[in-house]
Structure formats: structure tokens, C-alpha cells
Amino acid sequence: MHVTPAVVVALVGAALVAAPAQAPQAPSPTPATHARTTPAAVVAALSTAATDQSLKGRTIVIDPGHQLGNSRFPRKINRLVDAGGLRKACNTTGTATASGYAEATFTWRVAVALRKQLRAKGATVVMTRDRNSRRLWGPCVDIRGKLGNKGYRGRERAADLKLSIHGDGAARSGRGFHVIVTGRRGAVVRSARLGREVRAALDERGFRRSTYTAGGRGFVRRTDLGTLNLSRIPTAMVELGNMRNPRDARTMRSAAGQRRYARALTTAVEAYLR
């Protein structure tokens, strides 16, 4: 059971009420230097002891897919860049729900919730973009892929892993999540293990595997994605649901659903790094 300050106060209060009455006793002398233990001090001590720093010293890269302003900069996002042995567009506009809720906004909000949870556990978090704005575009997939690699932008040590967060735009009849890892050599084995942890954590949180791809396995290997091809650290991309499906869209739009996705991804990070 997770012990919160409120729970401690409640338990202490209940214990005091339930305690049998005792005959008054003369107070014993207390040295002036002796610090009195107050309920607030007890709560503070227990809260500090219960702090989870399981990810202290770890560096996690979070890639919230796309950018809200991509559609306003077609020349920039359509420019071809290296995607790891092939040339692809710098970025795309992403998809949206039938009502127009953008994938870029969904991925950003899940990423922010995930960042908060990881930082609370002591991790250092690096984001591939730091805002969600109609006035911005990118970054390109080559930057997203390389961020976190040892030596890239002067990084002395490689990040521990990378999660690339997306929402799919398939036919409205299909629903569910699927995880994508690289099919190329290099970090394949480690990335596949990370991908399986992501799948298991989403399963555990009650999310449904994709009904329209991967044959119900919820797991795909691809060699055409720059974000995966250019990464030299364990990396998993996840399509958290189909934004065109009404049921998935309701979950993806809601703050509760976004936090639930983030909790699943946090569990996956902890399981992989354990």
C-alpha cells in the first residue's frame, strides 16, 4: 500500500481514539535540548522515507510525435532528410480525431504527464520538443532519431532509452495500440525487449491491442522509420491508439486517459531498467 501523509495522519488519529484511557502520570523532566516529535514531523519523516527514487541517475528521452504547427510549414517539413540509409520527409502533420483533436496535442500531453512521473522517480528527462505550438514545426526525424546518442550534441554518455509517442490514423473500425521497434541490426535486441515491456505495461493497464495490424500481437518491426533507424540506444515507438476510432478517441482526448497511458509507459521504463 502506498503511504501518503493523509493516510499517516488518519492512522495516527484512529490509534489515539482507540487507545484505552490510562491514569494520569506525572510528566518526566525533558531536557531543553531534546526535540519534541510532533505529528507533522512524523508525517514528514515517513513521506521522505517513502519517496521513490528508483530512476535516479537514469536519462530518458521522450519524443512526442509531430508538432502542432507542422501544417503551416509544408516546405520545411517536406524537405528530405537522412532517415538511416534512406531519404524521407523531415516530418509530417500527424493525424487527428474526427472532431479535429490533433495527434501532436495528444502526444504532447501524454509526454508531459510521463515526464512528470519519471522526474518524480529521480530520472533526467530529455524531450525532442519543448512546446506544442501552432507557430512551430519539427524537429525532423533525423534529430529525433539521434537525440540521446552518445556524442550527439556533445552528449558524453548515451541516454538509457527512448520512447516515441504517437497516435495512429487508421480506418475508424480498427482500434487499439501497437508498439514498433527497429528491424535493423545494432540496438535490435535491446529495443525489442523495451518494446515488449511497453506492450506488457499497456496490457496490464487494460488497453486493447490493435485489431487492424500486427495480427493481434501489438508488436511490429520496421526498417523505414528514421526515429528508430538513427537511434543507438534502446528505442520503442508506440501508436497508443487509433485516433479515428470513436472509442479510442474518447480515451485519448481525456486527461484521465492521458495519465493512464503515461503510467503504463512509466511502468515499462522501470521494468526495462530494473
25-74: per-residue pLDDT in tens?
444 444 443 444 455 554 454 454 457 899 999 999 999 999 999 999 99
Evaluate whether residue 255 is within a structural domain. yes
Worst-scoring range by mean pLDDT, 39-53, 101-115, 218-232?
39-53
The residues near 243 (Cβ < 8 Å, ≥ 6 apart) are: 95, 96, 97, 101, 103, 106, 167, 168, 169, 249, 252
Q: How many domains does the chain have?
A: 1
Catalytic residue among 103, 197, 239, 270: 239
What does the DSSP 8-state code read for residue 225?
Answer: -
Evaluate whether residue 22 is within a structural domain. no
* Domain ranges, residue 122: 59-273
Evaluate whether residue 241 is within a structural domain. yes
Calculate the average pLDDT of the chain: 87
Q: What is the CATH number of the domain that holds 142?
A: 3.40.630.40
CA–CA–CA angle 88, 92, 96 (5° rounding) = 150
Evaluate whether residue 21 is within a structural domain. no
Evaluate whether residue 43 is within a structural domain. no
- Look up the pTM and report it: 0.82
| pLDDT for 184 | 79
| pLDDT for 51 | 78
| pLDDT for 189 | 77
Worst-scoring range by mean pLDDT, 6-10, 101-105, 141-145?
6-10
239 annotated active-site: yes
Evaluate whether residue 102 is within a structural domain. yes
d(CA 102, CA 65): 11
Evaluate whether residue 83 is within a structural domain. yes
Evaluate whether residue 77 is within a structural domain. yes
